[in-house]
Amino acid sequence: MLTSLQGKSVLVTGATSGIGLGIAYGFARQGARVAISARHADKVQGVARRMRDEGLQVEGFVADVAQGAAVRQLLADVAGSHGGLDVLCCNAGVFPSASLEQMSEADWDGVLATNAKGNFLCVQAALPYLRQAEYGRVILTSSITGPVTGFPGWAHYGASKAAQLGFMRTAAIELARDGITINAVLPGNILTEGLQDMGQEYQDSMAASVPLRRLGSVEDIASAALFFASREAGYITGQSLVVDGGQILPESLQALA
The single-letter code of the amino acid at 213 is R
Kind and range of the H or E element at 46?
Answer: helix 41-53
The single-letter code of the amino acid at 203 is Q
Task: Answer yes or no: 157 catalytic.
Answer: yes
Judge contact between 3 and 231, C-beta under 8 A.
yes
Provide the edge-to-edge strand list for the sheet that holds 240-243. Answer: 58-62, 33-38, 9-13, 87-90, 137-141, 181-187, 240-243
CA 131 to chain centre: 21
Crossing angle for the helix pair 218-229 and 18-29, to the nearest 10 degrees: 50
Q: Residue 181 phi/psi, 5° resolution?
A: -105, 155
Which of 25, 129, 135, 157 is an active site residue?
157
Q: Residue 141 phi/psi, 5° resolution?
A: -95, 105
Residues in the chain, total: 257
Catalytic residue annotation: 157
